[in-house]
């Protein structure tokens, strides 16, 4: 079977887009997806909690948070808890919506190969 490469031809022939076309590049990386997954369960999370639960270094987490902040998916708030400085991460409304869309795209991909509904 020959694969059709031209999207216009695909549309005319009624070929559906592949589920991976809906995967968000900013989110799909393991650490960034993990950040949004954790934040989907809570209002906010401490930087140190995310670092530990995702098993990454401070620098690695900072780099991934920068990508998410630039995409408007999370916000970073610095403050104090008692006398201790804390960095809190929150998912924005766009971040929560993007995470839901990513899960939907991943589910469609899995369904396509498990024989479930797409």
pLDDT digit string, tens, across residues 20-56: 788 778 787 999 999 999 999 999 999 999 999 999 9
Residue 38, in any domain of the structure: yes
Residue 103, in any domain of the structure: yes
Question: Can you give the CATH number for the domain in which 82 is found?
Answer: 1.10.10.10
Residue 48, in any domain of the structure: yes
Residue 11, in any domain of the structure: no
Q: Long-range contact list for 55-63, CB < 8 A, 24+ apart? A: 56/31, 60/31, 61/31, 61/35
**Summary mean pLDDT of the chain:** 87
| CA angle, 92 then 97 then 100, to 5° | 130
Q: pTM score > 0.85 for this model?
A: no
| CA distances, 3 to each of 7, 12, 87 (Å) | 11, 14, 49
Residue 56, in any domain of the structure: yes
- Nearest-10 Cα torsion for 77, 82, 85, 90: -20
Residue 113, in any domain of the structure: no
Residue 100, in any domain of the structure: yes
Residue 6, in any domain of the structure: no
CA–CA separation, 112 vs 7, rounded Å? 20
DSSP 56-85: --HHHHHHHHHHHHHTTSEEEEEEEETTEE
Host domain of residue 97: 25-108
Asked whether residue 5 carries a pLDDT value surpassing 60, the answer given is no
3-class DSSP state for residue 34?
Answer: helix
Q: How many domains does the chain have?
A: 1
Asked whether residue 12 carries a pLDDT value surpassing 60, the answer given is no
């Amino acid at each position: 079977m020959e694969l059709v490469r031209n999207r216009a031809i695909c549309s005319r022939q009624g070929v559906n887009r592949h589920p991976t076309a809906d995967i968000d590049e900013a989110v799909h990386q393991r650490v960034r997806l993990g950040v949004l997954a954790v934040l989907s369960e809570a209002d906010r999370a401490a930087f140190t909690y995310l670092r530990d639960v995702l098993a990454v270094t401070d620098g690695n987490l900072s780099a991934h948070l920068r990508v998410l902040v630039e995409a408007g998916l999370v916000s970073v708030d610095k403050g104090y808890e008692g006398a201790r400085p804390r960095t809190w991460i929150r998912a924005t409304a766009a971040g929560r919506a993007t995470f839901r869309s990513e899960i939907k795209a991943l589910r469609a991909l899995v369904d396509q190969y498990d024989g479930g509904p797409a």
